Every structure is written in C-alpha cells, then in structure tokens.
Structure 1
Amino acid sequence: MAGHSHWANISAKKGVIDKKRGKLFGKLSRAIIVAAQSGGGDPTTNLRLRYAIDKAKKASMPKDNIDRAVKKGCGEAGGENYEELLYEGYGAAGVAVLCDILTENRNRTAGEIRKIFEVHNGNLGATGCVAWMFDRKGQFLVPVEGNDEEALFEIAVEAGAEDVREAGDSFEILCDPDLFDAVNAALEERGIETTSSDITRVPANTVELDATDGMKVLKLIDALEDQDDIQNVIANFNISDDIMEELAESM
C-alpha cells in the first residue's frame, strides 16, 4: 500500500513532534524504571532494559537521566512503583486504539483516559475488545531515502524478518519479537540507521479514513499521547498522503 501514510509512519513522524512537548523524557524514564525493576539494572542481561535505553538514546535523552532512571528502578534513588496496563477503545469510524500504560494510580488514569476518549468522539472499551485485532511484532522503520529496498529486504530476511514493505517515506521491517535483537544487530552491522525500532503491536487490518474522520482520530491520538501515564498509542488506520497533507495544514 505504498503512497499511504501508514500508522507506523505517522507514529514515527509524531514522535519528532512529541520531543518538543517536553514529556518524552519523562515517559522514557518511566519505561527504563519499570524495565530495571522487572529484570535488574544490567542491560547486557536485561533485554527489556537494553531496548528502553536504546530508545532513550535515539531520542537524545541525556546519559545522566538514563542512569538516574536505572538507579530508581533498582531501588537506589527513591524507586517508584508503576503498574503496567493495556487500555483498549474505539475512535471515530470504528478505529481500534490500544494504549500501553505505566501508572502508580490506575483509578485516576482510567478516569482521565475515559474522558479523553469521550471528548474526542470515541469510547474506552472493555479488556480484550480490540487487542485481538493486533499482532505483537518487532518493528523497524528505515528511511526510504538513501536505502535500496531489495538490499534491505535481503539483509532483514536473512536475519529472520518476516516482511519489508514501503510505508510512506519509510521502509517498515517486521519480525517475530524473539528475533528483534538479531534483526537489529544485522541492521547495525550494515550501518543502516532506523528512525524507529521497537517491539509493538501491528494491526492485522486497517481502516481507511477520510479528512473528517482522520482529523477526529488524529486529535484523539494527540490527546492520548499527551497524557503522562500513556507510554504508547497504537491504532489501525491509514490516511492517504493527500489527505494527510491537508490535515497537517489545519492542525
């Protein structure tokens, strides 16, 4: 589906904007704290921590912030206890939305997120209402510019990737979560830089949105991502490049 702004590509572009909001480092710190709490403070033996640290480094998070978050997770600097939750709901046009949550107060978080959905033409659903529409995958985004699709496909598949496909101005590489490290290592060995690399959920099917519903869904996503306890938002929609350009001018 080349020529469309896939959610993966939209999400990566929005990540650049999120840095300007001043909240990204707080979310990244929270992810590092939880990773260290669950598997220890050594990224060589705690893959989840290594991925969280790598993501923080890609976002240019200072080393002192990273080290401080690791220490908090290990209980060395006033550790904080967070609960991991997955909230599910619907946006305009029936778009399925998943929210990865890290919170110290689930009741407060649930109320705030429910309100966000209601204000933006959606509704928070019950557990399991949309999660079945997504598959857990390792996902990498590589810029189209400066990279050859055929060569990238060969490198990725040889390392265990399932698919390489064009998504707007990026190539999207998908793999089994267990092979994330192998694919990541293969890309690094060849000097191929990624704009995004994560273990996430990928929609099995997508909803094509027009300008009206596209605006409603993007405003919902923006509001959810602005909520402090939400680490990541995933949704199953596509917006054509023409409509995306139109929306960008009005947002």
Structure 2
Amino acid sequence: MAGHNKWSQIKRKKGALDAKRSKIFTKLIKEITVAVKEGGPDPDGNARLRLVIQTSKAANMPKDNIERAVKKGEGSDAGDYSEVSYEGYGPGGVAVLVECLTDNINRTVQNLRTMFNKSGGSLGTSGSVDYLFDRKGVFVARLDPGQSIDEDELLLELADGGAEEVEFEEGYITIYSAMEDFGAMQRKVEELNLDLENAELQRLPQTTVKVEDPGAVRKVLKLIDALEDDDDVQKVYHNLELSEEVLAALE
C-alpha cells in the first residue's frame, strides 16, 4: 500500500494539490450532484452524499459551494451522468483503473484511449485489471507541527475501529480499513478528533509493479496526471511501485 500511495504523497508535499484545487472542486461538485440525485439531499439518510461532503470539507471546499452543489442536485439541471470504469495498461505493464462520471461516454472513451496510446499503453477490456485491486477505506489525517502522539496507544484505538494498517509519515497518518468497516472507522476517527484531510473508498492494488526505467516511470506518471486532469475522470488507481532509487532519478 505504501508504494501505491507514494505518488499522491509526493504531489501533496510539492503543493500540486493546491494548484489543482479548482479542478478538484469541480469533480467534487459533480459527485455531490450525482449523490443527491441518486439518494436525496439529506446526508443523514444518504451515505454517499455524507461521504462526499466530508471529503469536500477535508479538501477545504467552502460551505457555500457545497450547499449550491446540493441544491443543483435537487434541480432539473443536475445533468444526466453515467458512472463508468475503464481499465488498461501503461508503460512497463502498470495496471491503471479509471473511474468516471460522464454525460458523453463516446467522448470519454475516445479521450482515454488517446491518452493511453500517447503514453505507449493501451486501453483494455472490462475486467482486464479490476481483479488486481481491492476496495478499501482510506483515511488521511494531518498532524500539527510538533504535535506529540503515543503511536502505540493510537494504533490500539484505530484497530478497535477496524483499521487494518496504519502509516505514520512526515506529519500525516494514513489509515486503511476493509470496505465494510468504513463507517465504523469513520466514527472512530471522528471520536479521536483527528484532523482529516481525506476520507474515501479507494481501489488499492493487491501487488505492485516495479518499473526500473526512469523514462518509463515518467511516462506512467504523465499518463496518470493527464487522466486526473480530464473533466470526466473522478479517480485514477494504479499498481506502480516507486522505489527510492527511481524517485531519486526523477528529481
């Protein structure tokens, strides 16, 4: 899991998250409107909406933006989006799974195929890589600079809430849980008053692929960035393992 998460950590540390904040907000607003259209505007009775609102707050989306997105989801102009997933392979045999919300499937497929082809990869058929990923709850919390915590005690508390794995790294805690334990883990994190940056269900690779060639790694990362930048794409998952040696070569 640590290898899979490394690239997102690097981008966060380099400030790329802030640079793409408006793009992130756009994707979250789309997710909110779809969640409202699907299950209604009350987050207490709509688990999907409750989750995306929490994710939006963790991304520092203004309250007004969230409320407008909820109202849009209730209206007739909410849009007719289809939830679709696409699978393929990038350079070096890296598996890539892309989740989309789109109002034009033909456009989305064409754009994704072009991006895969340009990278030297290929868009695959349904089921070609999905089996390589497990759906897990992932919670990322910030630690205040200089904050002192008892890691052993915290680990016991988190395990009680359903945590399968916990990572401590440079001011952040990343917690992984089984998909079915997401709600219990969410309640435990709130009980512990952890400063959540993100909380969502993700697809994590069962195994990772180590690509030694820095040029191929750059192509994979360029493909991932291009996919994430597409308006129809909500989330991108991959099984690329980034070793410290390869990361050093990319600097």
Cα drift, residue 244 of structure 1: 2.2
C-alpha deviations, 1:181-238, integer Å up to 9, x for none? 2212212222222333211111100112322322111111011011110001010122
C-alpha distance 201-57 of structure 1, shift in aligned 2 (>3 A): same
1:235 corresponds to: 238
Indicate if the aligned counterparts of 2:4 and 2:204 stay in contact, CA closer than 8 A: no
Q: Could you tell me how far 1:47 is from its partner in structure 2?
A: 1.1
Name 1:39's counterpart in structure 2. Answer: 39
1:95 aligned onto 2:104: no
Q: Which runs of 5+ in 1 are unaligned?
A: none
Q: Secondary structure at the match of 2:57?
A: helix
SS at match of 1:195: strand
1:225 to 225, 228, 232: 228
1:60 is paired with a residue whose SS is coil
Distance 1:60 1:166, change over 3 A: closer
In the TM superposition, residue 90 of structure 1 has moved relative to its aligned partner by: 0.5
- 2:221 and 2:201 mapped to 1: Cα distance? 22
Write the deviation string for residues 89-131 of structure 1: whole angstroms up to 9, x where unpaired: 1111111111110000000110001000111121110000000
Q: Which stretch of the first structure deviates more once superposed, 31-40 or 6-15?
A: 6-15
Give the 3 Å change call, closer, same or farther, for CA 151–60 of structure 1 in structure 2.
same
CA 1:106–1:112: 2 relative to 1, 3 Å: same
Distance in 2, Cα, partners of 1:182 & 1:160: 7
Q: Is the 8 A contact 1:9 1:167 kept in 2?
A: no
Choose 112-121 or 210-219, whichever is displaced more. Answer: 210-219
CA distance in 2, matches of 1:176, 1:237: 22
Match of 1:64 in 2: 64
Counterpart residue type for residue 228 of structure 2: E
TM-aligned CA distance change 1:245 to 1:168, over 3 Å: farther
Please give the per-residue CA displacement for 1:6-53, whole angstroms capped at 9, x wherever unaligned.
222422543651441331111110011111111111111111101111
Residue correspondence of structure 1 range 122-161 to structure 2 within 5 A: 122-142=121-141, 146=147, 147-161=149-163
Query: Kindly tell me: are residues 195 and 8 of structure 1, through their superposed partners in 2, closer, same or farther at Cα, counting changes over 3 Å?
Result: farther
- Please name the residue that 1:51 is paired with: 51
Indicate how the Cα distance of structure 1 residues 183 and 90 shifts in structure 2: closer, same or farther if over 3 A, else same.
Answer: same
Map Cα deviations across residues 147-194 of structure 1 (whole Å, 9 max, x no partner): 444233211110122222457875432212222122122122222223
* 1:178 match: 180
Q: Deviations over 1:49-102 (max 9, x none)?
A: 0111111111111222111111121226x2211100011111111111111100
TM-score computed with the length of structure 2 as normaliser: 0.88
SS of structure 2 residue aligned to 1:86: strand
Q: Which amino acid aligns with 1:99?
A: V
User: RMSD value over aligned CA atoms?
Assistant: 2.2
TM-score, normalised via structure 1 length = 0.88
**Of 22-31 and 155-164, the range deviating more from structure 2:** 155-164
Greater displacement, 143-152 / 234-243: 143-152
Return the letter of the residue paired with 1:108. R
> Contact 1:6 / 1:167 at 8 angstroms: preserved in 2?
no
Residue 23 of structure 2 corresponds to residue 23 of structure 1? yes
Looking at structure 2, the residues matched to 53 and 96 of structure 1 have their Cα atoms a distance apart, in angstroms, of: 30
Match of 1:162, SS state, is strand
Change (3 A) 1:167 1:110: farther
Aligned twin of 1:11: 8
Partner of residue 204 from structure 1, selected from 200, 203, 206: 206
Equivalent pairs counted in the alignment come to: 244
